[in-house]
Structure 1
Amino acid sequence: MLFPFAEKAFIDDKKLVGYCLSETHITDKHKARVFKAALGITADNYLILKEAISTAVLIEDATFSGANAQGELYVVDFILTYKARQASIRSAWIIHFGESFPRLVSCYVNE
């Protein structure tokens, strides 16, 4: 199924730069190391990842993965090709109760 309200998807730059691509994040710096090793993507060129996620959420199938106290959870998987490298990416999303747009929660290389 296509993602509900995908055209309104919100991707906070801070989520990408300060979390997914941060090589100094206390608990998740490994995500950044894998992005760099697999695709050559770092916090310096995070817009490559942001654009890929923004496109994928519009055209790839979304999978409902349950709900928590804040809202409904979904994942969107896609293949990202950058500079002759390719990797499977998983993006995790939430649609908060009372809102009508998805917010990016996390993303990582899914291999």
Structure 2
Amino acid sequence: MLLPFAEKAFIDDLKLTGYCLSETHITGKHKARVFKATLGITAADYLILKEAIITAVLLNDAIYSGRNQQGDLYTVDFMMAHKTKRTNVRTAWICLFGESFPRLVSCYVKE
């Protein structure tokens, strides 16, 4: 099963640049370090990661993770390649109640 409304998936650029790929964010810096070490991707390369995620949700199955007070939660895992490197990436999504599109919550290298 694909992510519900995958074709409308929303990825806030700041989620990537200010969190997942930020080397200074209090919790994101750990994700950023691993993205840099495994794929050579930094915040300057966020569009490469964004494109990979957008493509991945259209091609890979989503796993329903449950529900919280805000909406339904999903994960989508995929293999990402950049230059000569490859690794597994996990993306986390929420479909907020009352909305008809998923929002990226987080992404990280899944080892």
Determine if the TM-score, normalized by the shorter chain, exceeds 0.5. yes
Question: Partners of 1:3 and 1:33 in 2: how far apart?
Answer: 27
> In 1, distance between residues paired with 2:27 and 2:11?
21
User: What is the SS of the residue equivalent to 1:4?
Assistant: coil
- What are structure 1's unaligned runs of at least 5 residues? none
The reply on whether 1:73 has 2:82 as its aligned counterpart is no
Partner of 1:28: 28
TM value normalised by structure 2: 0.99
Letter in 2 for 1:67: R
Structure 2 residue 5 is matched with structure 1 residue 5: yes
* Aligned residue pair count: 111
Shift of 1:27: 2.0
**Large movers: runs of 4+ above 3 Å:** none
Structure 2, unpaired ranges of 5+? none
Deviation, structure 1 residue 28: 2.4
Q: CA-to-partner distance for each residue in 1:13-63, whole Å, 9 max, x for gaps?
A: 000000000000012210000000000000001100000000001110000
CA distance in 1 between partners of 2:56 and 2:107 (Å): 12
